[in-house]
Amino acid sequence: MKLIPRYLITQLSVMTLYALLALLALYSFFDVMNEIGDVGKGSYTTAKMLQYTLLLVPAHIYELMPLAVLIGGLLALSQLAARSELTVIKTSGMSTGDIIRILLGFGLIFAALTVFTGEWAAPAASRYAANMKAGAIEGKISTGNGGLWVKEQRDIINIKEMLPDRTLRDITIFQHNDNFQLTAQWRADSAVVQPDGSWQLKNIRRSLLEGDRVKVETRAEETLRTHIKSNLLDVLLVDPGQMSLASLNSYIKHLEANNQEVQAYWIAWWRKLFYPVAAVVMAFVALAFTPQSTRQGNMGLKLFFGICLGLAFHFAGRLFSFTSQLYGIPPLLAAALPTTLFAILAIWLIRKQEQR
């Protein structure tokens, strides 16, 4: 890599990391404030609260990466313009097209980091954080690849998954006597949680241990009375924003096979696909809002508008996701539109800047 491209990418990357750290500190502060009320419940101590907050950091990194690229790019390029370094770089023979290619390389670096964080680090950390908090507060539950395990008086209940309509699937119940000896095992294909908290089990196979023999019974439906709170089951709900592309793809097929609503998951799938591109687009937006010299207008005002534009993009993705579900907008359009609009805006502003 030549000296000038290496210098520019270094300056841009350093300022982007500073911006990301500042944003993470702000979001982590809000997380701590939000979690303080739960400290003291069960075994959810201050140490576990801080651990939970740290485990949310990868998810925040994924969400904030394009905004950090924009803020870092604006700060770095504005500093270069204030020191007349951009002018010197251009007079040395480097064109705007060359600078755009450098920004493309810079954006691709952080797009790759976005992919890594969104596909591997954030889903694993967020899932572990939710399970750890639920286990600490409730005490009697355990979660993992085998689903949710709950101790209900003398019974141990395992639930493999819960669909978006809160239908439980693949339930196993181990019943014990007062000496905690196994007396029966229930298996049900599904269950519907009733308003009174009871479960309406369907397709039940019950094995009763009677001395040295096992009696097997099957029933189409049966009501099970439990004291399990509905919020305990929420750890089984899959947040589409915290899933990888591969997990979303398989989960969408699973939901479609069970006649479930998949609009939110398709929106999340397409958003995951387009989101890394936003890091590259934000690098171009940073250039569009950077004055080429200190004489080209109010630098501070342009920096302010650029950051406001980045915040608008950050919240526009969520807004389009909600409106897509409300008004039936195609998921591809809802996911691609914010990034596409900002890319067009960046190109138009750069061309306008060159015509001056």
pLDDT of residue 222: 93
* Mean predicted confidence (pLDDT) in 150-170: 88
pLDDT > 90 in the chain, percent: 57
Letter string b/e over residues 306-321, b meaning 16 or more CB atoms within 10 A of that residue's CB: bbebbeebbeebeebb
pLDDT of residue 297: 52
CA 152 to mean position of chain CA atoms: 32
pLDDT digits (tens, 9 = 90+) for 303-347: 788 888 888 998 888 888 888 888 888 999 989 999 999 999 999
User: Which of the pair, 155 or 314, is modelled with greater confidence?
Assistant: 155
User: Which of the pair, 58 or 194, is modelled with greater confidence?
Assistant: 58
**CA-based nearest residue to 72, from 112, 21, 113, 117:** 21
The region of weakest confidence among 181-185, 192-196, 269-273 is: 192-196
Tokens of 262: 């998949």
pLDDT digits (tens, 9 = 90+) for 203-242: 999 999 988 899 999 999 999 988 887 777 777 777 888 8
Structural contact between residues 208 and 183, judged by C-beta atoms closer than 8 angstroms: yes
Q: Residue 180: which residues within 8 A CB-CB, separation 6 or more? A: 154
pTM for the whole structure: 0.88
* Mean predicted confidence (pLDDT) in 233-260: 86
Q: Residue 12: which residues within 8 A CB-CB, separation 6 or more? A: 72, 73, 76, 77, 103, 106, 283
User: Which of the pair, 33 or 138, is modelled with greater confidence?
Assistant: 33
Q: How confident is the model at residue 354 (pLDDT cuts 50, 70, 90)?
A: confident
pLDDT digits (tens, 9 = 90+) for 82-93: 888 988 888 888
The region of weakest confidence among 46-50, 60-64, 113-117, 312-316 is: 312-316
User: Which of the pair, 242 or 287, is modelled with greater confidence?
Assistant: 287
Letter string b/e over residues 128-143, b meaning 16 or more CB atoms within 10 A of that residue's CB: ebbbbbbbbbbeebbb
Average pLDDT over the chain reads: 89
- Site of tokens 């950090």: 68
* Mean predicted confidence (pLDDT) in 6-31: 96
d(CA 241, CA 176): 39
